[in-house]
A = this chain, B = another copy of it.
């Protein structure tokens, strides 16, 4: 009566067997009430439920997952939760995952280099998630497709892809931004500087390139200024820059970096937007908290995350009802006080 709890002195987890024994039924019956199947007498059902609560039994998701090859986990690949727009997106995803289907979210962050990304893919596959959403500028489409060899339904954010169990969400920043820069250039100005922040990922790089390219074809000279990604570094660098330059139209990847330019300009005795103008690509809270407020582009990233996971759960549970496998989200321009 006490020899079966030997093995590990830490044997603990209450199993379905014990519940069955206590309730005086077989484990199959217990399984039935857990999963809300029919064909169970009210009486025995109650007996089982009593036993469950008495023992504090919680079915092991591991065993359940193995038995029906569904882990009820969703994978999320992101570069890091550091930027607020990423964490907003993450929030939206976790929220939706919980609501639709009670999925648990497992996070795979990639540290801005290829090997790490590859290892995260490896990890993702092993982890046996039911599906995943990927937002990672580093991954090429090939690597993403390789995941599909393992039949893991995927939603890709920021890559324009489509496939069998593959949906995508496109973040359209490039065109709206280019439009605004063009408009500025149309006025005859030729003073655009784009901040080239290292390791910002494909999307921001693409935006930079599109502006540069436009400069080429339109005969305008677009300058770039390279910095590492940090408010402090950009702030210091721009203060130095403004010692010898007294004007310009600056394009920054994120609004916090735009704020760095702003502060540097102001403290160098320059006027904004009379002398220097500032345009931030990805705008958030900083844009409207600082004074003067920063003109920037915004997108509801929480919503992006929500949509991504919603698409994924559909892909998982009702693949036939899918209508759209490709979404486009367009950033909206908020003209504020740092541009004329």
Write the residues of chain A forming the contact surface with B, with a CB cutoff of 8 angstroms.
Answer: 10, 12-13, 56, 58-63, 65-66, 69, 71, 73, 80-82, 84, 87-88, 90-91, 94-95, 98, 102, 104-109, 122-123, 125-128, 149-151, 231, 256, 259-260, 263, 266, 285-286, 289-291
Contact = CB atoms under 8 A, between A and B. Distances in A.
A328 to B, nearest CB: 25
A200 B98 CA distance: 22
A60 B65 CA distance: 11
Contact of A150 (B12, B62, B105, B150): B12
A126 B84 contact: no
A107 B125 contact: no
Contact of A289 (B80, B87, B90, B259): B259
B82 A126 contact: no
B108 A95 contact: no
A154 to B, nearest CB: 15
Nearest to A84: B84
Contacts of A60: 66, 126, 128
Contacts of A123: 102, 104
Contact of A127 (B13, B81, B104, B125): B104
B12 A128 contact: no
A149 B56 contact: yes
B256 A285 contact: yes
Contact of A62 (B58, B66, B259): B66
A24 B122 CA distance: 25
A89 to B, nearest CB: 9
Nearest to A98: B109
A338 to B, nearest CB: 14
A71 B81 contact: no
A69 B66 CA distance: 13
The 6 A-B pairs of least Cβ separation, nearest first, read: A87-B87, A81-B87, A62-B128, A12-B151, A61-B126, A58-B126
Contacts of A88: 81-82
A289 to B, nearest CB: 5
Contacts of A56: 149-150
A223 to B, nearest CB: 25
Given A58-B150, A84-B87, A291-B263, A73 B285 contact: no
A56 B122 CA distance: 11
B290 A289 contact: yes
Contact of A81 (B91, B108, B125): B91
A177 B115 CA distance: 44
A231 B285 contact: yes
A66 B67 CA distance: 11
Contacts of A291: 263, 266, 290-291
